[in-house]
Amino acid sequence: MERLFITGIGTDVGKTLVSAILTEALQADYWKPVQAGLTPTTDAATVRGLVQNPVSHFWPERHRLQLPASPHAAAAAEGLTLRPEDFELPATHNHLLVEGAGGLLVPLAPGFLLADLAQRFALDVVVVSRNYLGSINHTLLTLEALQARGLRVRGLIFNGEPTPATEEFIAEHTGVPLMPRILPEPEVTPTMVSRYAAEFRTWFGL
Ligand SMILES: Nc1ncnc2c1ncn2[C@@H]1O[C@H](COP(=O)(O)OP(=O)(O)OP(=O)(O)O)[C@@H](O)[C@H]1O
Ligand SMILES: C[C@H](N)[C@H](N)CCCCCC(=O)O
Ligand SMILES: [Mg+2]
């Protein structure tokens, strides 16, 4: 069974889109442990709206915080201090995708980072990298931080406008497995998600 933590090189890089594609590809369950910002919608609701298979189960967030900010600040604004022991991995026998918030070292509380959750639950990691000037550095830093923590990279996904010089450098320098890339799409729809899901099923050997 795949137990995957979906992280990215920052916020807004496409983790939720990738989560929808992987949820559909694996008919996996999906869990967003901490949602910071509830309007106009949540990541779980977005993924649910993009996935069509009847198997995936959407586990409720452990914390739903109003403020679209770093989770540690969104929690503090509500008088909460999140603690590692508050979180339990959903009890499922299905594949499970766990979506982070922002990048790998985003804080949930003082001394408690999203990476700690991935370690606590021994999840393999999928890294989403979106191309922008500066994304090489952010991608390499993320991969080094994963390596330093002993977290296994299941795959790296490039999302957005292809930039061969960037992608080739990162692939050669790090040797991480590459998953299929995602192009800039005119619209994010269930049909588009299902098209990419087919490519990912092949990548997983399904
Ligand atoms: N390849 C793509 N083509 C078109 N739109 C995209 C693509 N990738 C991401 N987007 C859009 O960019 C926005 C940000 O993507 P997404 O919500 O997946 O980021 P995220 O990494 O999950 O952010 P967060 O840290 O808030 O969870 C969304 O509106 C999404 O639909
Ligand atoms: C609100 C946003 N969309 C994400 N859910 C949280 C991003 C936190 C980023 C914190 C940081 O790295 O400075
Ligand atoms: Mg998201």
pLDDT digits (tens, 9 = 90+) for 13-67: 999 999 999 999 999 999 999 999 999 999 999 999 999 999 999 999 999 999 9
Query: Which pLDDT band, with edges at 50, 70 and 90, does 203 fall under?
Result: very high
DSSP 46-84: HHHHH---SS--EEPPSEEESSSS-HHHHHHHTT----G
Tokens of residue 159, six digits? 């999302």
Question: pTM for this structure?
Answer: 0.98
3-state SS class at 178: strand
Rounded-to-integer distance, Cα 96 and Cα 30, Å: 6
Indicate the burial class of 35 (C-beta count within 10 angstroms; 0-12, 13-18, 19 or more). buried
pLDDT at 89: 98
Annotated binding site: 12-17, 43, 99-102
DSSP state of 182: B
| Distance from the alpha carbon of residue 119 to the mean position of ligand 2, in angstroms | 20
Rounded-to-integer distance, Cα 7 and Cα 184, Å: 19
Homologous superfamily of the 3-203 domain (CATH): P-loop containing nucleotide triphosphate hydrolases (3.40.50.300)
Dihedrals φ, ψ of 165, to 5°? -65, -35
Atom of ligand 1 at shortest range from CA of 185: 3
pLDDT digits (tens, 9 = 90+) for 89-119: 999 999 999 999 999 999 999 999 999 999 9
ipTM over 0.95: yes
- Which amino acid is it at 205? G
Q: Is 182 in the pocket of ligand 1 (CB under 6 A)?
A: yes
Nearest Cα to Cα of residue 63 among 46, 45, 78, 41: 78
Domain ranges within the chain, ordered by starting residue: 3-203
| Distance from the alpha carbon of residue 50 to the mean position of ligand 1, in angstroms | 13
- Nearby residues of 116 by Cβ (< 8 Å), 6 or more positions away: 84, 108
Region label for 170, one of left (φ > 0), alpha (ψ between -120 and 50) or beta (otherwise): alpha
Indicate the burial class of 150 (C-beta count within 10 angstroms; 0-12, 13-18, 19 or more). exposed
CA dihedral sign of residues 50, 126, 59, 38: negative
Catalytic residue among 23, 31, 32, 74: 32
Rounded-to-integer distance, Cα 32 and Cα 194, Å: 21
